[in-house]
Structure 1
């Protein structure tokens, strides 16, 4: 669960630390005090979309940090293991900073992570339901994801199989479309790459010849200098009074010395070896000098060939090896384009087989959604009865999708998209005798609040989130409906931590913990503060919510009555 949140320099909040407990926590306070701002900060902490507008005026950055207690079986642990983040004593710390330049910095247990990782972990811990979700409920395109969440693993496994085949199918179809270029484009392409290949083949390239030619060119260009240096080396060794004569004389003297002193034998052998080595080197120098030729024509040939290779390199690759590899690819493409019809036939066969598999998965997905839709409709109707919409009727309509990637069969055309082949829409009739219509055409604000709460109550049992946040879900209701909503929210809190912003005294009375949010002016700046309410303070706050202006003994009596009723409901639940 969410144990603590620290918020700094966020909107009108200068610095605020809020500690939460399990059960139902209700946040109350005057309009504009900053209740929703706290929820906005938590939303950013778990990966919501950030903005520089959240940074308090005059500050460099807004900072949000949350402490969570995560049990050993929670799915977030798998993500943490994959990213190499360790946990101690089941504690998890999320932190996010947003600078006034728009940069977002995310950390989990002190380790820098991407926003995507923060969102994946954070949104598995907390589910925030705000007033904007009423608008989502009015949009049919959002209904499919609600239904799939309700169906859970039964649909998710089938959907993953479907998605894998869908991506394979779309790739095959895109490749097939590329091959369906008109004949003129194909002919032009063939002419062009044949010209390229012909140019390369006429050059009769040899792997590595550019390096060999550069080496030979260098030798020819420096032949005279090389001959001169070799001549000096040769003359230093060979000739009367030169190195070889002196070396031979040293060997003769050493032989005489060795005939007198046996210890000279190793030295003699070393001198003899050196003499023969020098003699061999002298012969090699002579051969090298004789082999050197000053051939201007060969140098011209080499330079012309290198210039030809240079032109080819500008077009086809950085080296002769790269050019030959490019030529090999051209040959493959020519073969492919020349056998276009055969290739298209193979691709069409593979695409057809993939489409067959895809259709099977899509049909299975549709059947599962229809089954889940019937069950969801019954569950919602049951929940709505508890919320005094006894005569409400609901239907989850699953119809074929109209947009996506199409495939034509003999019997018709199938349309696939990333979600399958289905459009999902919730239909509702709020009263007896009314026809089923889309929510956007039937539900009032108060009815939408009750429908959304019914869905949240149902879905909370299918989610792994430890904390659920309701941001003014009681909009547009009062009286006995308000009491029913309060009891429903409390029931959700028996299975998960619930944080709720509310203006209803009935909801505040059901709370296990009451937090009061107030706006104060300090040093010509407005800031938000929060304080837990003790018993008498809780009574006064509920009395204020009842009266709207002044707390009187009568409103206190009403508040105490609500608290007593709430206590009885908790005891009996």
Structure 2
């Protein structure tokens, strides 16, 4: 459930915060008051692109924050699988937009937008103003079916996807394998040259790193030897050296240390320094004795590195990649050397993969067709509740010309709204108002099959009125019994059915237009219904009609609850 919404510096909203309730939350307001900004803000929090004009003029940043309360154990587990931990069963999604950039957070932890979308899909389903138009796009129908049947389809679709990946790769290899004799001979010649070039180098793992370290030393060898010799000269050779000076100082202290404990400590410290310096001199002398700068070695190392770097430019950025490339080229040579056998084996493997893909596609199709019968019947019943009195609704299946990662099904919803008329596609028969109700029916069925707790409808009432509007309001009420519903509407019949009613209104403050949102009490809700019924002038009769509408809605909700 979406517990609260906090918006700051977006469009007409300076700052607004609203606490939402379970059941049916209705939002109303005058045209242009900013109703669409509320849904737009939620969409922004959930990862939608932010239009530049959404940030208020002279504002340093824009912010949207959503707080969810999660009760479903299934959703909690799914969130845990995304490595999202709840705090007292609460989850906070926020998005801050600064200078064209945005920062998304879940429970104060910065996350990518993709993770926000994954979490949001488990918590909330938003039906925008024009989403019902997506029903006119046939390819969306099978997605609706697959979402409805996802539990039954999950394992089979994963196997189907894997089978399609193998099939696609073998198909591509087969297409590339159909080359003529002269092309194969040219490829064999070129591959042989490349393999010989790599094998002649006799590469060893880690060789390049060792050579680069050695080369680095050799390039600076003379400088290194001069510096080391200079250090040895200053510490070990001659009367002026550090060794001789310390030895002299030590003799001086030794002659008097028996008379003063502090001088004895100094003598001990200096003696330790003398020992360390002697050890250092011995090791440095050994290093100088063993180290020489050899021009021939330098040339050999440089030439070897040139060979390796040349191979890197052609076959890979590391020795491991070059060796792998050589192995792949040798495998390709083996195939080309016995091409007829290779091609026959490839054709057989492709045929086997196609057969396997056909079998998985058939299994998926069978599950879909069975689920489609259940889905369309459930939608048909919902449509009857939405004033489609003699409706028939089904799903028509055809086979695509080629395989896809989704199988071979091409499916489309079909509807007839009058007795005796044949079913036709939604595109040919449904008006805007009918599409809104069909989408509401689909959402009602999907919500029952899903654990998503919050459904948002932005003007689902497009193109309807009268008795149909009343039936839509009753459907909204029914949905609100098991889900949190947030609905923006301009129809009083739907607004009257609210469990919580919110008013979005526009005002001018300090010569700046702002939108605000606030909850209405019973009397305020009746006044808002009267505005929706009567327009600018609210008469006593209109107010009575609004009060009666609210009472009738309460009685309807009560009777529907008792029936349930």
- TM above 0.5, yes or no, is yes
| Aligned 8 A contact 2:146 2:368 in 1 | yes
Residue 147 (structure 1) aligned to one of 139, 142, 145: 145
Q: Given the superposition, is the C-alpha separation of residues 185 and 526 from structure 1 closer, same or farther in structure 2, using an over 3 Å criterion?
A: farther
Task: Between 381-390 and 330-339, report the one with greater CA deviation.
Answer: 330-339
Residue 16 (structure 1) aligns with: 16
Indicate yes or no: 2:30 matched with 1:35: no
Structure 2 unaligned residues grouped into runs of 5+: 230-285
| Number of corresponding residues | 490
Residue 119 (structure 1) aligns with: 117
| Aligned 8 A contact 1:68 1:91 in 2 | yes
Q: TM-score, normalised by structure 1?
A: 0.77
Residue 466 (structure 2) aligns with: 479
Q: Deviation per CA, 1:294-316, whole angstroms, max 9, x where unpaired?
A: xxxx988x788667646533432
Give distance in 1, aligned partners of 2:476 and 2:54.
Answer: 29
Give distance in 2, aligned partners of 1:201 and 1:376.
Answer: 63
Residue 508 (structure 1) aligns with: 495
| Aligned 8 A contact 1:3 1:19 in 2 | yes
Q: Given the superposition, is the C-alpha separation of residues 345 and 57 from structure 1 closer, same or farther in structure 2, using an over 3 Å criterion?
A: farther
| Aligned 8 A contact 1:539 1:559 in 2 | yes
Give distance in 2, aligned partners of 1:188 and 1:345.
Answer: 21
Q: Given the superposition, is the C-alpha separation of residues 211 and 509 from structure 1 closer, same or farther in structure 2, using an over 3 Å criterion?
A: closer
Give distance in 2, aligned partners of 1:480 and 1:132.
Answer: 23
Q: CA deviation at 1:198?
A: 4.3
Task: Between 173-182 and 322-331, report the one with greater CA deviation.
Answer: 322-331
Residue 458 (structure 1) aligned to one of 445, 449, 464: 445
Residue 439 (structure 1) aligns with: 426
Q: CA deviation at 1:34?
A: 1.0
Residue 449 (structure 1) aligns with: 436
- The structure whose Rg is larger is 1
5 Å matches for 1:306-385?
Answer: 309=304, 312-317=307-312, 325=323, 328-329=326-327, 330-385=329-384
Residue 537 (structure 1) aligns with: 524
Q: Given the superposition, is the C-alpha separation of residues 510 and 324 from structure 1 closer, same or farther in structure 2, using an over 3 Å criterion?
A: closer
Q: CA deviation at 1:511?
A: 0.4
Residue 257 (structure 1) aligns with: none
| Aligned 8 A contact 1:23 1:497 in 2 | yes
| Aligned 8 A contact 2:493 2:549 in 1 | yes
Structure 1 unaligned residues grouped into runs of 5+: 230-284, 293-297, 403-414
Task: Between 343-352 and 198-207, report the one with greater CA deviation.
Answer: 198-207
Q: Deviation per CA, 1:70-95, whole angstroms, max 9, x where unpaired?
A: 12513354334543x33221011111
Give distance in 1, aligned partners of 2:319 and 2:544.
Answer: 93
| Aligned 8 A contact 1:313 1:323 in 2 | no
Residue 88 (structure 2) aligns with: 89
Q: CA deviation at 1:425?
A: 1.0
Residue 243 (structure 2) aligns with: none
Q: CA deviation at 1:203?
A: 7.3
Q: CA deviation at 1:453?
A: 1.3
Q: CA deviation at 1:472?
A: 0.5
Give distance in 2, aligned partners of 1:147 and 1:97.
Answer: 36
| Aligned 8 A contact 1:392 1:428 in 2 | yes
Give distance in 2, aligned partners of 1:381 and 1:331.
Answer: 62
| Aligned 8 A contact 2:146 2:153 in 1 | yes
Give distance in 2, aligned partners of 1:314 and 1:399.
Answer: 57
Give distance in 1, aligned partners of 2:56 and 2:182.
Answer: 63
Q: Deviation per CA, 1:333-359, whole angstroms, max 9, x where unpaired?
A: 433432333333333333322222221
Q: CA deviation at 1:535?
A: 1.3
Give distance in 1, aligned partners of 2:193 and 2:15.
Answer: 72
Q: CA deviation at 1:473?
A: 0.4
Q: TM-score, normalised by structure 2?
A: 0.78
Give distance in 2, aligned partners of 1:327 and 1:168.
Answer: 22
| Aligned 8 A contact 2:72 2:451 in 1 | no
Q: Given the superposition, is the C-alpha separation of residues 317 and 524 from structure 1 closer, same or farther in structure 2, using an over 3 Å criterion?
A: same
Give distance in 2, aligned partners of 1:385 and 1:72.
Answer: 30
Q: CA deviation at 1:199?
A: 5.0
Give distance in 1, aligned partners of 2:201 and 2:354.
Answer: 47
| Aligned 8 A contact 1:149 1:462 in 2 | no
| Aligned 8 A contact 1:46 1:123 in 2 | no
Q: Deviation per CA, 1:318-372, whole angstroms, max 9, x where unpaired?
A: 9997799479535444334323333333333333222222211111111222222
Residue 244 (structure 2) aligns with: none
| Aligned 8 A contact 1:200 1:327 in 2 | no
Residue 65 (structure 2) aligns with: 65
Give distance in 2, aligned partners of 1:326 and 1:149.
Answer: 42
Residue 498 (structure 1) aligns with: 485
| Aligned 8 A contact 2:11 2:53 in 1 | yes
